[in-house]
Amino acid sequence: MGKPRLIVIIRHAQSEGNKNKAIHQTVPDHRVKLTSEGIRQAAEAGERLLKLLRPEDTLRIITSPYLRTRETTNGILSQLSRHPSASKIKVYEEPRIREQDFGNFQPCTAEMERMWHERAAYGHFFYRIPNGESAADAYDRVSGFNESLWRQFADEDFPSVLVLVTHGLMTRIFLMKWYHYSVEYFEDLKNIDHCQFVLMEKNPVTDKYELKTELRTWSAERKKEEDRQQPEGGPSAKDLKKLEAAAASLEVIYGGCANGCSHGKTNKLRTNASSGLARSSNGEAESVTTRALRNKLAVLEAGRDFGGSRSGAGSRTASDDETGSADEEMSKPSDVLAHSHNAQSSEPAKALEDLIRRGSRDDARAELLGDVAQEDGGVRL
């Protein structure tokens, strides 16, 4: 058969998480099941799919491995038993079309509300959920899935209809990759409804898939609302409240420490410009360079590097029989490098401690540390 004549994308039916978002605080996202209404929606989706199929059609269903998509798939299958090829329907689970990862158990409702507002301000596509992933991360795995599909389309026995049972955001991501949507258009797209079908039909002339389902966008919804308000002489009282809430949200400053920053008040070094001394929160006087060197020593003794970036540049990733990276080597103080290279020693901490003892109040010593002179007086981990 080759390329299927029809690709059907179906969002899962209503789940308990859709009805009560707080459930994600105690139930893993992949274990959230359908509601009784969702079970009904899944069976109804099976009826609609049966009407779309031709008697000669063969069918393959690929589903996200989440419980709510599995249950939706089962509901659909329960209605396909009347199709002539029902016994030949193949079902596969595909983790790459799972829901966007939202960071394991979700925090309290207030924190989630703050996070959703922050995501709206930052941008839905690039905003990375704490301990989870961004839509851009999901796009990367869906890209690999799409490429796998194209390779499978080369098989002569590939079914004539392909059904993908997935999630709302993942439907938009799939279409974004397939039809090369811009980030801006993705941001404008609204989620499809539960168990709504998105139909992609192959054009027999061009051999390309034409999107037969009209997608809803936020901009179109706003335009409709504006047109509705014109003959009515302006926005309603309800609309004015929405506008006021939106205006208030614009005054919120996002970023920084989500739960309130106290890092400037805890263990912050205060430098006395005239004496060159730093005073810690416990009242001990110590030179900035001495404190910096001691911080370096603590990091070395803990077995961690003190250069590189958040992505791990400068970290040791090689196996025991491999040498460290250039970034790792260059992140060490020059005296420690000389000691370890000339004496073939594995004691950089001892060499650094010697530096402290030889007189750490000399500001020239700070140059040996490179990245240690930072605004907060700490080290970059």
For residue 115, give Cα distances in angstroms to 130, 269, 374.
Answer: 9, 32, 30
Residue 142 makes CB contacts below 8 A (sequence gap 6+) with 96, 97, 170, 173, 174, 177
| Among 16, 71, 99, 328, the one annotated catalytic | 99
Using CA atoms, how far apart are residues 188 and 217, in angstroms rounded to an integer?
A: 5
Residue entry with tokens 């990276």: 325
Residue entry with tokens 């039916």: 13
3-state secondary structure 306-342: CCCCCCCCCCCCCCCCCCCCHHHHHCCCHHHHHHHHH
| Among 12, 24, 83, 167, the one annotated catalytic | 12
Q: Which of 145, 209, 307 is nearest to 3 (CA)?
A: 209
Looking at the chain, list the stretches that DSSP marks H as alpha helix, in order from N- to C-terminal side: 16-19, 36-52, 67-77, 109-122, 135-152, 168-179, 183-188, 218-232, 237-250, 288-301, 326-330, 334-342, 348-359
Using CA atoms, how far apart are residues 55 and 85, in angstroms rounded to an integer?
A: 8
> In the annotation, is 99 catalytic?
yes
3-state secondary structure 263-306: CCCCCCCEEECCCCEEECCCCCEEEHHHHHHHHHHHHHHCCCCC
> In the annotation, is 339 catalytic?
no
**Which amino acids are annotated catalytic?**
12, 99
